[in-house]
Amino acid sequence: MVGVSATFSLADVIAPLYGIILGPFAGTISVILGTFLAIAFGRPMIFLGLDFLPSAMDALIVGLVMRKKRLAATVLYLIFFIMFLANPYTAIFVPVSVSFLNLNSFFFYPWLHLIALLVLISPLSKKAAEWVNEASVINLAPGILILSFIGALTQHLVGALLYEMVLGMFVGKAPEIFRLVWNAIFWLYPFERTFLVVLSTVIGVPVVKALKSSGFLTGSPSQTGLEPHPGKQKHHTR
């Protein structure tokens, strides 16, 4: 992770899947327990014991969307977004200079987070949850992709807030240091988030399909793309 001496783990990839599969509350609790277990087994603690928050909020917001509680998910996302913009350690606009285009201007740093917010409040997020619930072969991947995109940007937003609050307000790093970090991350985080979203989708599609076929997740055979076994069909005669 740029700015801290740590790397991403598989937990950062599968966090939205906890929300998709287990829902907002069981998914969030699972993330919290998993984070503390990982720390107990040697994973370095970065944010003073609050390391669970980014992934937990990812699972929570995705789980809320899955449970048709988009308003609660949107309000929660907005709170994090406003907190990030209001934080004095945030560089809301970063300088962008492209010499061959003769471009020297400032660009809105959380532009991708704003797109995720627009996707969240749009009918697209509702449709994504329906696609995952129906689990059709055609729509399952786009549904998980959209939900993972919302979750990944939520996770990034909360992680940035923790980074500012823990290392800035508690450790005492100067705001100027953060502005330099944001200038670098501005060019990196869209590729980083895209990579995480793609991995979440690649892992999530077969997992959800397998859970559907095993009966762990709800959905009729026609919705999952699986036909009932002929031996299990009941024939009624008059």
Please indicate, yes or no, if residue 204 is contained in any of the structural domains. Answer: yes
Please indicate, yes or no, if residue 223 is contained in any of the structural domains. Answer: no
Handedness of CA 201, 207, 210, 211 (dihedral sign): negative
Please indicate, yes or no, if residue 1 is contained in any of the structural domains. Answer: no
* Angstrom distance (rounded) from CA 74 to CA 70: 6
Enter the pTM of the model. 0.85
The whole-number pLDDT of residue 170 equals 72
| Domain hosting residue 131, numbered range | 10-213
Q: Using the predicted structure, report yes or no on whether residue 145 has a pLDDT greater than 70.
A: yes
**Token digits for 66?**
């899955």
Q: Give the DSSP H/E element, type plus range, for residue 93.
A: strand 93-98
* Angstrom distance (rounded) from CA 159 to CA 157: 5
Q: Using the predicted structure, report yes or no on whether residue 235 has a pLDDT greater than 80.
A: no
The region that residue 219 occupies, defined by phi over 0 for left and psi between -120 and 50 for alpha, beta otherwise, is: left
The whole-number pLDDT of residue 2 equals 57
Please indicate, yes or no, if residue 218 is contained in any of the structural domains. Answer: no
pLDDT tens digits for range 66-106: 999 999 999 999 999 999 999 989 989 998 877 766 778 89
What is the count of structural domains for the chain?
A: 1
Distances (CA, A) of 150 to 23, 58, 114, 131, 156: 15, 8, 10, 15, 10
pLDDT tens digits for range 7-47: 667 778 899 999 999 999 999 999 999 999 988 988 888 88
pLDDT tens digits for range 196-222: 999 999 999 999 999 988 888 764 333
Please indicate, yes or no, if residue 198 is contained in any of the structural domains. Answer: yes
pLDDT tens digits for range 148-189: 999 999 999 999 999 998 888 776 676 777 888 898 899 999
- On whether the CB atoms of residues 196 and 13 are closer than 8 A, the answer is yes
Please indicate, yes or no, if residue 220 is contained in any of the structural domains. Answer: no
pLDDT tens digits for range 100-127: 667 788 999 999 999 999 999 999 999 9
Per residue, what are the HEC states of 204-234?
Answer: HHHHHHHHHHHCCCCCCHHHHCCCCCHHHCC
- On whether the CB atoms of residues 94 and 183 are closer than 8 A, the answer is yes
Please indicate, yes or no, if residue 14 is contained in any of the structural domains. Answer: yes
- On whether the CB atoms of residues 148 and 197 are closer than 8 A, the answer is yes
Please indicate, yes or no, if residue 230 is contained in any of the structural domains. Answer: no
The whole-number pLDDT of residue 101 equals 67
